[in-house]
A and B are shown apart, each in its own frame.
Chain A
Amino acid sequence: MFRWFSRDKTSSTERDREALSALIDGALRPDERARLNARLQQDAALRAEHEMLLQTVRLLRSTPMAPLPRSFTLNPAVYARVQPRSLHLYPALRAATVAATLLFLVITAGTLPSGVGPRAAQAPESVAMEFAPQAANDEQVVAVETTFGLQAPEPAAEKAVAGPGADTIHVPVTRQVELAVAPESEAVARNVAGAPAESSSPTSTAAPLPTAAAVAAAPPAAEAADSGDGMLGATAGDTMTATAAAAELAQQAYAVPTGTAELISPLPATTPALRPVDTTTPKEALAPLMAEPAEPDQPVNWEPLARWATGMLALLLLGGTLLARRAGW
């Protein structure tokens, strides 16, 4: 209650002071001026306030001009070559920032639906389908032992061998799987490799599975194959013909739920167990397979790169715009 009074009184005083200030400057309308003059005649406090303000203004207006310490003309030696700016950097940068941001949003919005699910699930499949011919062309000899392993732990998405409904083994491109079959488990290796189970031909190939699983031939195994030490060599023709069967068998043998990519299990009792890759394997021997392009025919997915590039561009332009605004460009 009292605060209301106080506030009202204060605002009233401020209004009076503002009116007195405007009266001093001759900025009141005639009717306002007449009303205020009438109040001044009756209100001594208001009159005193008015007088004090008037003296204050008079004092301020009597303030002398300060002398110049020097001339502020621009030195021709310095500024003759500096032309007034004709470029309006700020508006240009601002427009460019808006355009880059819109482009980024369009790209992001356009890729979200297609980039998340179907494409991610489809890519490994196509990789697997194309791996066998590639390996056949290169005439890579795949050495098979009783065991095979993953060379390095990888993210779950890349370790998915095959989902329950998949047609083939899904293995990422960069993955290095070493298959080796010991002489005593040749049949198992052949089964794993995709040769028909009843086939006892020593030339039946182990290519499809290893190639489909991005197989890397370890040099010791390759040497063993060359010396006929129970190793099976793969030919291109065999690889091509055995691909479907190998995929089917491999699916039966190594199919795991999609979400359990960390482990390629359970494996049948007759299936070679996973083991870590022999770290003693010379890297030179792996180099050709590691270096070769994994998916020569698959179109490159430019969308993440475009997203990143436009995002960075928008950020850089935003920084430039703020700088231009601050610098008065």
Chain B
Amino acid sequence: MDESSLIQQARRGDLQAFNSLVLHYQTLVYNLAYRMMGERESAADATQDTFIRAYKNIRRFQGGSFKAWLLRIATNLCYDELRRHQRQRQTSLEALYVVEEDANPALTAQTESPESYAQRNELAQAIQDCLNRLPPDQRMTAILSDVQGYSYEEITAIARISLGTVKSRLSRARARLRDCLRSKGELIPGRYRLNSKTNEPTGTMD
């Protein structure tokens, strides 16, 4: 069943149709919340609240990208939660030492060596730590663009900011992340470390 008919059924109060949408988007929403909040429990709470709020307000959804609408709800909830906990901001030990099983097929593949697995985990921890140090608006932009791979246009729809703001925030976020990751030095596995070798310009990522 396509998304638009599921949305229409959900608007009429069909919870099963809405749960189909939940199943489709819960990984995206949870990962956005997890990268924003930096710890699992808060991310799970924010994700659940996102779907509850989306269900209660689905009649206010007036077309367009349902994913962007959903992620906008999640973004606002994360901002609210971050503001609430700003004074007691601390890096969760759980977030630092969690082993993200099933996150990537490569992580659970029997072929991956324990050393490689450990390195990946260290890298994920370092990145999350650097993300946590960004201001919330820059963090959100970096997560949407570089972690989840959304285009500028999608980010403008999700965050309701202008294209220029997206570019500006993303540029500053990347610069800060670069500095942070460089400062970690030995904490990052050798093959992932940033170095300033001046290769030929490679242009774009794609």
Residues of A within 8 A of B (CB): 14, 17-18, 20-27, 33, 37, 40-41, 44, 47-48, 50-74, 76, 79-80, 82-86, 88, 328
Q: Give Cα A58 to B34, complex, Å.
A: 20
- Per CB-CB distance, the 10 closest pairs between chain A and chain B, nearest first, are A64-B104, A60-B146, A64-B103, A21-B171, A26-B204, A18-B171, A67-B102, A73-B19, A40-B201, A56-B178
Cα separation A17 to B174 with both chains bound (whole Å): 9
When distances are taken between beta carbons in the complex, the residues of chain B under 8 Å from A74 are 15, 18-19, 22, 51-52, 55
Contact (Cβ within 8 A) B147 A60: yes
Q: How far is the CA of A319 from the CA of B97 in the complex (A)?
A: 46
**A82-B152 contact given A26-B204, A53-B175, A56-B181, CB 8 Å threshold:** no
Q: Chain A nearest CB: distance from B196 CB in Å?
A: 5
Assess whether A23 is in contact with B127, with CB atoms less than 8 Å apart: no
Q: With contacts A61-B149, A85-B56 known, is A51 near B171, CB below 8 A?
A: no
Further pairs besides A54-B205, A56-B178: 5, Cβ < 8 Å: A17-B175, A57-B205, A62-B123, A84-B58, A328-B57
Given A21-B167, A27-B152, A55-B194, CB of A41 within 8 Å of CB of B15? no
CB pair B171–A80 under 8 Å, yes or no, is: no
Complex contact B204–A51 (CB within 8 A): no
Query: Which B residues lie within 8 Å of A50 (CB)?
Result: 201
Task: Report the contact-size class of chain B (Cβ under 8 Å from the partner).
Answer: 35 or more
Is B59's CB under 8 angstroms from A86's CB?
yes
Determine which residue in A22, A41, A52, A86 has the highest number of CB atoms from chain B within 10 A of its CB, and name it: A52
* Chain B interface SS verdict (over half): helix
Cα distance A59–B124 in the bound complex, in angstroms:
9
Please name all residues of chain B whose beta carbon is closer than 8 Å to the beta carbon of A84 when the two chains form the complex.
10-11, 13, 55-59
Chain A residues contacting B2 (CB-CB under 8 Å) are: none
Q: From A18, which residue of chain B is reached at the shortest CB distance?
A: B171
Name which of A26, A53, A64, A76 has the most chain B CB atoms within 10 A of its CB. A64
Asked whether A25 and B145 contact (CB < 8 A) given A47-B198, A61-B205, A71-B26, the answer is yes
What B residues does A62 contact at CB under 8 A?
123, 192
Within 8 Å by CB of A56, from B57, B103, B177, lies B177
Given A63-B127, A83-B13, A84-B55; A72-B48 close (CB under 8 Å) = yes
In the complex, what distance in Å separates the CA atom of A328 from the CA atom of B107? Answer: 40
Rounded to whole angstroms, the CA-CA distance of A41 and B199 in the bound complex is: 10
> Closest residue of chain A to B30, judged by CB?
A68
What chain B residues lie within 8 Å of A20 (beta carbons)?
171
Find out whether the CB atom of A59 lies under 8 angstroms from the CB atom of B104. Answer: no
C-alpha gap A59/B123 in the complex (Å): 8
CB atoms of A26 and B167 under 8 A apart: no
Give the nearest-CB partner of A66 in chain B.
B34
Query: What is the CA–CA distance of A50 and B195 in the complex, to the nearest angstrom?
Result: 11
What would 17 A/B residue contacts be, using CB atoms closer than 8 Å? A21-B170, A21-B171, A26-B206, A37-B203, A51-B198, A53-B178, A55-B195, A56-B174, A60-B147, A60-B177, A67-B100, A70-B44, A72-B22, A72-B47, A72-B51, A82-B55, A82-B56
